Amino acid sequence: MKCVINRRAQFSASHRYYLPELSLAENEAQFGLGALPNGHGHNYELFVRMYGDIDDQGMVLNLSDVKHVIKKEVTAQLDGRLINETWPEFTKTLPTTENIARQIWLRLVDHLPIISITLYEHPELFAEYLGNDMEAFLTVGTHFSAAHRLALDSLSLEENTEIYGKCARVNGHGHNYHLDVTVKGEMNPRTGMLVELVALNKLIDEIAVEPLDHTFLNKDIPYFQEVVPTAENIAFYIANLLDEPIRKLGASLHKINLIESPNNSCEILWSKDAPQLSEQFSTAKIPAMVAG
């Protein structure tokens, strides 16, 4: 019988984003605060995902053995160090989150049956690497606050309440939304980035977060004057906004995860073949299955 297991590990390390062929001003323009001369540090959180058969002892692998392999090959080498000067690969490329994840994979793949490496630089920035050459996934997190009401204009208050419960109340209600945007792309062999992080954060903020933040979605966003602003529909809306601009940065939108509350969240898997919102909601009057 096959099973996937996960092992978590941690290390603290510092790094700097700096290319000597660029001036300090050019580095700061491209890499933001990451280019500052003394570098900066993180408490990294690492998840190693492995796959195999369950043996007669009820295990895929002895987790004590897994722990020692990860410590020897990764965490003991990086903990408390400047990553740029610790692993020789980072004399030729930058220790970005996605690039560190790839290097961890390369150090563990001969020892463990890994299927993915996920590395958190902090809770709102993490990367996943699946062993596909220079391809990786990068997720950035952000947040916005907004109010909404879930109701169809064609129905009475009583009918809307049957569908949406308290969310149909006429004066609406608000949420502190947490938004994760996952992009997919090929890492640049020089910068170690699949997309310029400063540019990606700026794009998400200007195109998605700022226009939605502190709005009453039903009244302030024209699209939601016709479409019920459930978490699902909001996530589709954000995905449609970000799709083309992210492709212009050289990556592709892979996933949107929108957390409406500790109890409610939704995920939109996105690709170039996904239908656009104009097709998805052509009637603009489709009740959602889950009220927020």
Show the domain range for 260. Answer: 134-292
Average pLDDT over residues 88-95: 94
- Whether 50 shows a pLDDT value over 70: the answer reads yes
Q: What is the pLDDT of residue 204?
A: 98
Please give the pLDDT value at position 283.
Answer: 35
pLDDT band for position 34 (50/70/90)?
confident
pLDDT of residue 5: 95
Mean pLDDT (the chain, rounded): 92
Kindly state whether residues 156 and 126 are assigned to the same domain. no
- Indicate if 120 and 171 belong to the same structural domain: no
Instruction: Evaluate if residue 69 carries a pLDDT over 90.
Output: yes
State the CATH number of the domain containing residue 17.
3.30.479.10
Q: In this predicted structure, what is the pLDDT of residue 47?
A: 98
Same structural domain, 118 and 27: yes
User: Once rounded to an integer, what is the mean pLDDT over residues 113-134?
Assistant: 97
- Quote the crossing angle between the two packed helices 197-204 and 24-31, to the nearest 10°: 40
Dihedral sign of CA atoms 50, 109, 76, 96 in order: negative
Q: Half-sphere exposure of residue 177, counting CA atoms within 13 Å on the CB side?
A: 31
User: Same domain, yes or no, for 146 and 100?
Assistant: no
Which residue, of 131, 164, 185, is where some domain finishes?
A: 131
Q: What confidence category does residue 272 fall into, taking pLDDT thresholds of 50, 70 and 90?
A: low
Asked whether residue 116 falls in the same domain as residue 163, the answer is: no
- Which one has a higher pLDDT value, 192 or 37? 192
Residue where a domain stops, chosen among 131, 149, 181? 131
- Residue ending a domain, among 131, 153, 181, is 131
Of residues 273 and 108, more confidence is placed in 108
d(C-alpha 215, C-alpha 237), whole Å: 15
* Mean pLDDT on 91-102: 96
167 in the same domain as 88: no
- The strand pair at 135-148 and 215-216 is best described as parallel
Percentage with pLDDT > 90 across the chain: 85
Look up residue 59 and give its DSSP letter: -
88 and 149 in one domain?
Answer: no
Residues 148 and 126 occupy one common structural domain: no
Same domain? 276 vs 140: yes
Better-scored residue on pLDDT, 276 or 290: 276
pLDDT single digits (tens) 212-254: 999 999 999 999 999 999 999 999 999 999 999 999 999 999 9
At 39 the pLDDT is: 87
pLDDT band (50, 70, 90) for residue 284: very low
Does residue 286 carry a pLDDT above 60?
no
Rounded average pLDDT over 147-155: 96
Q: Which residues of 163-199 are buried (b: 16+ CB within 10 A; e: fewer)?
A: bbeebbeeebeebebbbbbbbbbebbeebbbbbbbbb
Nearest to 47, CA basis, from 100, 99, 9, 104:
9
User: For position 292, what pLDDT does the model report?
Assistant: 37
pLDDT of residue 32: 87
Mean pLDDT of 12-16: 96
Considering only residues 288 and 211, tell me which one the structure prediction assigns the higher pLDDT.
211
Looking at the structure of the chain, the number of domains it has is 2
Q: What is the pLDDT of residue 36?
A: 86
Whether residue 175 sits in one domain with residue 222? yes
The verdict on 125 and 203 lying in the same domain is no
Higher pLDDT, 275 or 214: 214
| Residue that wins the pLDDT comparison between 281 and 162 | 162
Q: Name the band, by pLDDT with cuts 50, 70 and 90, for residue 287.
A: very low
Residues 138 and 268 in one domain: yes
Which residues participate in catalysis according to the annotation? 167, 214, 260
